[in-house]
A and B are shown apart, each in its own frame.
Chain A
Amino acid sequence: MGEMTGTSNGFAVRTEGVSRQYAMGEALVHAVDDVSIAVKPGEFVALLGSSGSGKSTLLNLLAGLDRPTSGAIYAHEHNLAEMSSQQLAHHRSHTVGMVFQAFNLLPRMTLEENVELPLRLAEVDRAERPARVREAVERVSLAARLTHRPSELSGGEQQRAALARALVNRPTILLADEPTGNLDSLTGDAIMHLLQEINRTLQMTIVMVTHDKVRAARYAHRIITMRDGKLVTEGASDEIA
């Protein structure tokens, strides 16, 4: 793993003894417990684990949606644990793109408006937006569905639209939380192919949460397995598989 002091040390993202605890009534839940990982630029990493293992919590911490109880998370030399909420918003807007199991498209917006939304939040110049939107939707082969609302798209198309929305701000890290969880096997494979293509062509770092060991082994470079909030195994996908 190399030296881990104070910066991301050339890694796209790195955690250092990171923990996240929740109070649930009187009990304290250790959702993530002293986890240290490092993801290299352009690497495709799968976070594997059963339900409640803490993988989604770890992904939220990497996204800057949540703050660790202790430890450090480095992305581009900055410790997310020490950032203000404004800086975390900037991190979510410019450094990472997120894809969710439930797609999370805004139902009353068209595909074009959904994809344009991160550009509005990042205050990208209005003149530049149409080209950026087109570039993103063409990458996921949805250029013909720009005016459609999410309810008029299939599950696979919705996830591709979510992927276009995650890519439109040209982030360096793509965080995917069970991207195939709501899709049938064939569509799920298509999405995984798309993620793999994005990883290869854009050299984009991808951290994907999944409980599908087979897909993780087939598409990811490396698998990190978690159980009860702790890191259990870490290694190349062919080794883990």
Chain B
Amino acid sequence: MKLRDLTELAARNLREAVLRNSLTTLGIAVGVASLVAMLSLGVGLQELASTRLSRSGLFDAVFVTTQANMRAFGGPPRPMAERTSTKPARKLDDDARQQLAQIKNVVEVYPEVRFPTEVQFEGKPLMTTVAGIPASARRDGAFDEMKGNFFSGPEANEAILQIEFARDLAKQTDSLLGKDLVLRYAEKEPLPADAPPENAAHKSAANRSDADDAPASGGFSLVPRELKLRIIGVVETEPATGFGGFGRGRLLIPLQIAQNLRIAQPTDMREMLRGDTGKPSYETLTVRVSSPKVVQSVEDTIKGMGFGTFSILDATKNMMLFFTVFDSLLLIFGSLALTVASLGIVNTLVMAILERRREIGILKALGAADRDVRRLFFVEAGAMGLLGGVLGVALGWLIGRALTIGTNAYLKRQELPAIDISSIHWWMVALAVGVSFFVSLAAGMYPASRAARLNPVEALRYE
């Protein structure tokens, strides 16, 4: 029998037991819906995590430190021979910074400037952590949903507040935009060999450059300074400007401004004792690369230059492993419902064989081959699977939307931003409908084969 005739006969048969076949199809739809909902939830959460993390700027960055500081990154302990070596670890100074910037696929190299300090706002002192933000961080997406604006220039005396810190300053964070605050900090002032340190004490910190530095005497003094900054934005996510150190920055300022402040760093004391007072060196440098794919190769190159590195790649791999296991578990639970639904198909078709026993006998008497009968039942099973699959995808999408709406309603009550926790892709639709179709065909195998094997003489006698 030709496929068109088979399809027409199958459609007629499905219509004739419309209630039972509809319920069976609905069962498949529920099974597919659970599969789609679980899968979309898994993928949605994975995408949410990936987006949030990629917005943090950690995925296209390599954090570079000197070999001597590697332990501070949680890296492996250096071999004893290296630790006891008389050869000094390579310094992370401006020469190294320029060398790093010339590595292929490196977009930008900048130091981590992060320090705890006091802030005066409307006469009220608060302790916080300040972080220097490079202009390139604007592209990370971390500032996409910020209130206010990004820095107007690399040397603008402007500040962006992290939302928690902004809440410490005012209940209505929007009201902070346009207001000023004062940064109070300790500037590192090198002691010139032939001049007392007081001479340099009253220069403007923000407008100072390294060229102004007098020949170093080997020591420095700490001078209290103030810097007025205008609040121009409030952000919920802080971009990654470095790793380790002082923790998250709650007050963000342009990186160039942060560098010009010449804040005393914990390593200054060590460098002074070692006599490393020539060129300024950095605790860490952040190397931003063109794509997360090249992180590994850039990291290897930097290691070859004698520096210690750390990237978030390993953490990403662990996250991917977690989501693979998570998605697999969701798939298994989703598939259980589909398995139960497929048993419904077997039941429906076996019932149909009993009911249509005589009809099968008549078909065979009129010339239907075993193959025709088998294919007829296959088409019926496949049609139920296909229809159930399409309905299931729609139902799964609705469940995903309902979960997202419910979650966002809860998040709104908690004053948190809305998120999309479920995500349906075309490949998911194709997979769900395909799985539904093939599972239904597999479920139809036994009934179809049983119908095909019916003895026509016995079937014709059946009342």
Given A104-B460, A108-B16, are A117 and B366 also a contact pair (CB < 8 Å)? Answer: yes
- Least CB distance from A147 to B in Å reads 15
Say whether B359 contacts A92, CB under 8 Å. no
Contacting B at CB under 8 A, from A112-169, are 117-118, 120-123, 126, 165, 169
Contacts of B369 in A (CB 8 A): 85-86, 89-90
Contacts of A94 in B (CB 8 A): 367
Say whether B9 contacts A120, CB under 8 Å. yes
Contacts of A4 in B (CB 8 A): none
* A60 to B455 CA separation, bound complex (whole angstroms): 12
Say whether A65 contacts B1, CB under 8 Å. no
- Least CB distance from A60 to B in Å reads 5
Say whether A165 contacts B1, CB under 8 Å. no
Say whether B367 contacts A85, CB under 8 Å. no
- Least CB distance from A176 to B in Å reads 12
**Chain B facing A: main interface SS:** helix
Contacts of A53 in B (CB 8 A): none
Say whether A92 contacts B365, CB under 8 Å. yes
- Least CB distance from B19 to A in Å reads 15
Residue of A nearest to B358 (CB): A104
* A89 to B359 CA separation, bound complex (whole angstroms): 16
Contacts of A100 in B (CB 8 A): 365, 460
Contact of B368 among A63, A89, A169 (CB under 8 A): A89
Contacts of B124 in A (CB 8 A): none
- Least CB distance from A101 to B in Å reads 10
Residue of B nearest to A126 (CB): B4
Contact of A108 among B4, B12, B363, B456 (CB under 8 A): B12
- Size of the chain B interface, CB-CB below 8 angstroms: 25
Contacting B at CB under 8 A, from A74-119, are 85-86, 89-90, 92-94, 98, 100, 104, 106, 108-109, 117-118
- Least CB distance from A106 to B in Å reads 6
* A236 to B364 CA separation, bound complex (whole angstroms): 33
- Least CB distance from A107 to B in Å reads 9
Contacts of A234 in B (CB 8 A): none
* A104 to B360 CA separation, bound complex (whole angstroms): 11
Contact of B366 among A92, A123, A126 (CB under 8 A): A92
Say whether B460 contacts A93, CB under 8 Å. no
* B5 is an interface residue with CB less than 8 A from chain A: yes
Say whether A121 contacts B1, CB under 8 Å. yes
* A121 to B364 CA separation, bound complex (whole angstroms): 9
* B398 is an interface residue with CB less than 8 A from chain A: no
Say whether A89 contacts B16, CB under 8 Å. no
Residue of B nearest to A94 (CB): B367
- Least CB distance from A58 to B in Å reads 12
Contact of A65 among B2, B12, B457 (CB under 8 A): B457
* B90 is an interface residue with CB less than 8 A from chain A: no
* A16 is an interface residue with CB less than 8 A from chain B: no
Say whether B366 contacts A165, CB under 8 Å. yes
Say whether B367 contacts A92, CB under 8 Å. yes
- Least CB distance from B211 to A in Å reads 92
Contacting A at CB under 8 A, from B338-370, are 358-359, 361-370
Say whether A122 contacts B367, CB under 8 Å. yes
* A109 to B372 CA separation, bound complex (whole angstroms): 19
Contact with B along A49-77 (1 / 0, CB 8 A): 00000000000100101100000000000
Given A106-B359, A108-B16, are A118 and B460 also a contact pair (CB < 8 Å)? Answer: no
- Least CB distance from A64 to B in Å reads 9
Say whether B1 contacts A120, CB under 8 Å. yes
Contacts of A109 in B (CB 8 A): 12
* A196 to B371 CA separation, bound complex (whole angstroms): 36
Say whether A121 contacts B456, CB under 8 Å. no
- Least CB distance from B418 to A in Å reads 53
Say whether B368 contacts A98, CB under 8 Å. no
* A100 to B459 CA separation, bound complex (whole angstroms): 13
Residue of A nearest to B453 (CB): A85
Residue of B nearest to A123 (CB): B2
Contacts of B364 in A (CB 8 A): 65, 89, 92
Contacting A at CB under 8 A, from B431-463, are 455-457, 460
* A92 to B366 CA separation, bound complex (whole angstroms): 6
Contacts of B363 in A (CB 8 A): 117, 121
Contacts of A93 in B (CB 8 A): 366-368
Contacts of A117 in B (CB 8 A): 363, 366
Given A60-B457, A92-B367, A94-B367, are A121 and B362 also a contact pair (CB < 8 Å)? Answer: no
Given A65-B456, A108-B12, are A169 and B367 also a contact pair (CB < 8 Å)? Answer: yes
Residue in B4, B366, B456, B457 whose Cβ sees the most chain A Cβ within 10 Å: B366
- Least CB distance from B373 to A in Å reads 10
Say whether B365 contacts A98, CB under 8 Å. yes
Residue of A nearest to B359 (CB): A106
* A195 to B175 CA separation, bound complex (whole angstroms): 101
Contacts of B358 in A (CB 8 A): 104
Say whether A104 contacts B365, CB under 8 Å. yes
Contacts of B1 in A (CB 8 A): 120-121, 123
Say whether B371 contacts A120, CB under 8 Å. no
Given A89-B364, A90-B367, A92-B364, are A121 and B460 also a contact pair (CB < 8 Å)? Answer: no
Contacts of B456 in A (CB 8 A): 65-66
Contacts of A165 in B (CB 8 A): 366
Contact with A along B135-157 (1 / 0, CB 8 A): 00000000000000000000000
* A121 to B6 CA separation, bound complex (whole angstroms): 9
Contacts of A89 in B (CB 8 A): 364, 367-370, 372
Given A100-B460, A108-B12, A108-B16, are A121 and B368 also a contact pair (CB < 8 Å)? Answer: yes
Residue in A90, A94, A117, A169 whose Cβ sees the most chain B Cβ within 10 Å: A117
Interface residues of B (CB under 8 A from A): 1-2, 4-5, 9, 12, 16, 358-359, 361-372, 455-457, 460
7 additional A-B pairs beyond A93-B366, A94-B367, beta carbons within 8 Å, are A66-B455, A90-B367, A90-B369, A104-B361, A120-B9, A121-B366, A169-B367
12 CB-based A-B contacts, threshold 8 Å = A60-B457, A85-B369, A85-B370, A86-B370, A89-B370, A92-B364, A94-B367, A98-B366, A100-B460, A106-B362, A120-B9, A123-B2
- The 8 A-B pairs at the shortest CB distance, nearest first, are namely A93-B367, A89-B369, A120-B5, A121-B367, A92-B367, A118-B366, A65-B456, A104-B362
